[in-house]
Copies of this chain bind each other. A is one copy, B any other.
Amino acid sequence: MSDKNFVKDLADIDKDFSKWYTDIILKCNLADYSPVRGCMVIKPYGYAIWEQIQEYFDKRLKLLGVKNAYFPMFIPESFLLKEAEHVEGFAPEVAIVTKAGGEELTENLIVRPTSETIIGSMFSKWIKSYRDLPYKINQWCNVVRWEKTTRPFLRTSEFLWQEGHSVHLDEFDAKESTIQMFDEYIKLCKDLLAIPVLSGKKTEKEKFAGADETYSIEARMHDGKCLQSGTSHNLGQHFTKAFDIKYLSSEGIEKYAYSTSYGISTRLIGAIIMVHGDNRGLKLPPRVAPIQIMIIPIASHKPGVIEKCREIKEILLSNGFRVEIDESDNTPGFKFNECELQGIPLRLEIGPRDIENNLATAVRRDNLEKFTIGFDAIEQSVKLILDEIHNNMYNTALKQLNDSIIEVDNKKDLIKSVDNGKIALCHHCGEIDCEKALQEETSIKSRVIYDYDTSKPCAICGKKSKYRVYFGKQY
């Protein structure tokens, strides 16, 4: 395959973003379509990104006193029915086991779309006293939501996620914990994925089925649409009352506890692709890239070239970097393109002249800048460059996000802005019906609440406003 064709094979990101996304998924071996409707296969390169996210966030959770556990994937149908809003939200999209072990089941089992109910039933058994609280649990697992239209990573019938569940003494503690995890998600996006987010509370219409409040982070994709990338729910007493989660207070009074839940999923991989990628391919943030540095030997048949490449690889490996050498038979030009397509943050070219000069030729994936790095103390130089790449990727995405926000004060401008790939910021009455009507007409939904300014009327219906909200199209 010639170098030219190689890049041409990718759809143009600005002309056909949807095709570009699918091309990236398949050509970078991130995922593949499976024979099961709406379910994807996460291939090793895609899964390695998920492992980086898991490693980072699992450490954070443990530092915050959250312990991992595992709960059954099957939920008795009757459990889902116990919380009214919850069942309404999830019933239409569940998968149901009706037969097992060669027999019809007496009670159908729901494959978990989320685990508030099954975990709630266990919490009610385990929590007895105020001394048991706060109780903080997390599980890494698969969940199933039978979606009508699916896209790899963004929306699939089965996906992988982390779901945290905590139980608290009172409203205040539950709210504090909800916001703590929400802050963790903002930090994860910024520090690990180089993704800036709109962050805030969801409107009444958009909150989680069974929550008092939902806090969400929303990333802006290249085409201007938003992607809900993580949510933290203050569940109040919805589930503690439904599942009888009570404790004896220090005064000896029996009280219902308060609970929260929060989750991020493999959807974040979709966000990475759609926020950072360009016409050359994927562009991976260095801290999450399975391969951070690709070494490409130039004139590899010349004496000493492969040896030097291997020496540098060993130095970088032993300093904790994720590094590989492309020793394939392809031409350097092909390898450069492949490196860019795969989104590898930094490539090092090492040939006879470089060796003579005691340096490597380096190319950054983020801005394609070419420069040299001395072999001496190369691990220190590489550390600095990867951090620079991370910061530059974050700042570039932040500028794009900020540039895309437009303040509007009427429905016409709101619709026009969003149709032009912008995110509209405007006053809103907060009424479910007002938002529903807009969505039915335009498929525009609120993203998150920006602030509680009420100085102007609702941009959509003209009634008294409750807050200012971001509106946008979504994945």
Contacts and interface: CB of A to CB of B under 8 A. Distances in A.
Interface string A56-98: 0000000000011111111110010000000000011111111
Q: Which of A43, A51, A70, A122 has the most CB of B within 10 A?
A: A70
Interface stretch (A31-39, A225-233, A380-388, A435-443): A31-39
A68 B47 contact: yes
Interface string A134-150: 00010001101011100
Contact of A70 (B95, B101, B160): B160
Interface string A269-285: 00000000000000000
B97 A101 contact: no
Nearest to A74: B36
A27 to B, nearest CB: 14
Interface string A110-139: 010000001001100110000000000100
A201 to B, nearest CB: 30
B125 A32 contact: yes
B100 A146 contact: yes
Contact of A35 (B48, B76, B98): B76
B70 A47 contact: yes
A167 to B, nearest CB: 14
B70 A36 contact: no
A73 B51 CA distance: 19
Contacts of A67: 44, 47-48
Contacts of A154: none
B47 A101 contact: no
A140 to B, nearest CB: 9
Count copies of this chain in the complex: 2
A41 B36 CA distance: 28
A134 to B, nearest CB: 14
A42 interface: yes
Given A76-B35, A146-B101, A68 B51 contact: yes
Interface in A14-40: 32, 34-36, 39-40
A252 interface: no
A353 interface: no
A109 interface: yes
Contact of A121 (B35, B74, B94): B35
Contacts of A36: 72, 74-76, 109, 118
Contacts of A75: 36
A99 interface: yes
A146 B104 CA distance: 12
A213 interface: no
A45 to B, nearest CB: 9
B32 A44 contact: no
Interface string A196-226: 0000000000000000000000000000000
5 interchain residue pairs of minimum CB distance: A101-B146, A44-B67, A39-B72, A95-B100, A42-B70
